């Protein structure tokens, strides 16, 4: 019987699938400093994590011979020393497809809120709505529509293409940056089963930044800023940025300076350089729409993550 520790949890559907396959699934959350000993004492062969638990060299060394499979529910594996674990003979697997739709929808949740200033009005209406209704109405009268605007997508993998499909559905122009993609087909599905197909050819970063009303970032980045002061200067005046990828791929200092100066109009951030304690200046900016790293936090995505990971584990141990 394969023993599994889902240290950061797993969906009920994923757990049930694993149990039906004869696995033993423990959803106890073990403290980081006690994790290695817990794995050894309980002969845990599979460790499942999200972003909270870290799987670094020390944990890998301590559990070598017992731990055989490390699963990351979600896309990024920044919290796992992936190559080192594989060198030790461990299997490391993520679920890259499961959260694609949920992250893409969050991009547009931020965009819709930004262009109609909902991020600001939702804070001010409870405080001033009864006394300053007309003034607030006037202050939010400069909203714009997404139709006819250009969205620049940095990183044209699964999520980038899902964002592109939604953008096409809204009547937006789509531009993309990805040095590893020469051309990509984007499919826009409809509820009746029909679909439309679009072809997108990525362009140089400079051209996309200059042409886009909104920039959305979908690359891992490995902590390196892809959008900094230089890139922001290339953007349209009054443009917006959305980052649902990784904290650090957008330089927060440069972003705040651009927002304060009026170079950029607004930004939507789901990820931050200092998680779980984002910089206060970022949190207090009047130009930012904020969410606490919830890109994959939908019931549907969690369900897909659990069942996709269960399939990987069953295949690995069968």
Tell me if 3-98+299-317 shares its fold with 100-290. Answer: yes
Provide the pLDDT for residue 96.
87
d(CA 288, CA 297): 20
The model's pTM is 0.89
Provide the pLDDT for residue 107.
98
Report pLDDT digits (tens) over 226-261: 999 999 999 999 999 999 999 999 999 999 999 999
**Cα separation values, 12 from 3, 15, 51, 300, 313, Å:** 17, 5, 19, 12, 16
The pLDDT of 262-278, averaged and rounded, is 96
Could you tell me the two tokens for 316? 């690995």
Among residues 210, 248, 217, which one has the least CA distance to residue 231? 210
**Could you say which of 3.40.50.720, 3.20.20.70, 3.30.70.1230, 3.30.70.270 is the CATH number of the domain covering 100-290?**
3.40.50.720
Active site residues: 246, 275, 293
Whether residue 302 has pLDDT greater than 70: yes
Q: Domain 3-98+299-317 carries which CATH code?
A: 3.40.50.720
Do 156 and 202 contact (CB within 8 A), yes or no?
yes
Share of the chain above pLDDT 90, in %: 94
d(CA 286, CA 281): 10
Provide the pLDDT for residue 78.
86
Give the start-to-end residue ranges of the domains of the chain.
Answer: 3-98+299-317, 100-290
Across the chain, mean pLDDT equals 96
pLDDT bin (cut points 50, 70, 90) of residue 223 is: low
Report pLDDT digits (tens) over 87-110: 999 999 999 899 999 999 999 999
């Amino acid at each position: 019987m394969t023993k599994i520790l889902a240290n950061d949890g797993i969906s009920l559907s994923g757990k049930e699938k694993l149990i039906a396959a004869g696995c033993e699934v423990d959803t106890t959350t073990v403290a980081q400093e006690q994790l290695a000993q817990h794995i050894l004492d309980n002969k845990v062969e599979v460790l499942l994590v999200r972003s909270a638990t870290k799987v670094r060299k020390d944990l890998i060394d301590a559990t070598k011979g017992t731990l055989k499979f490390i699963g990351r529910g979600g896309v990024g594996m920044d919290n796992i020393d992936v190559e080192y674990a594989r060198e030790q003979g461990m299997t490391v697997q993520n679920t890259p497809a499961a959260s694609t739709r949920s992250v893409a929808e969050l991009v547009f949740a931020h965009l819709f809120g930004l262009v109609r200033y909902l991020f600001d009005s939702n804070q001010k209406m409870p405080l001033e709505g009864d006394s300053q209704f007309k003034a607030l109405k006037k202050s939010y009268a400069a909203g714009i529509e997404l139709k006819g605007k250009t969205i620049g997508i940095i990183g044209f993998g699964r999520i980038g293409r899902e964002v592109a499909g939604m953008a096409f559905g809204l009547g937006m122009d789509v531009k993309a940056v990805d040095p590893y993609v020469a051309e990509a087909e984007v499919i826009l599905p409809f509820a009746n089963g029909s679909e439309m197909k679009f072809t997108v050819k990525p362009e140089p970063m400079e051209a996309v930044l200059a042409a886009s009303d909104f920039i959305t970032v979908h690359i891992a980045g490995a902590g390196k800023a892809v959008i900094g002061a230089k890139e922001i200067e290339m953007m349209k005046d009054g443009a917006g940025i959305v980052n649902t990828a990784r904290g650090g791929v957008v330089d927060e200092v440069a972003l705040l300076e651009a927002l304060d100066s009026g170079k950029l109009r607004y930004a939507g951030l789901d990820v931050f350089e200092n998680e779980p304690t984002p910089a206060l200046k970022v949190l207090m900016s009047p130009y930012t729409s904020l969410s606490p790293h919830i890109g994959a936090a939908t019931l549907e995505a969690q369900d897909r993550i659990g069942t996709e990971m269960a399939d990987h584990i069953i295949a690995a141990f069968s």
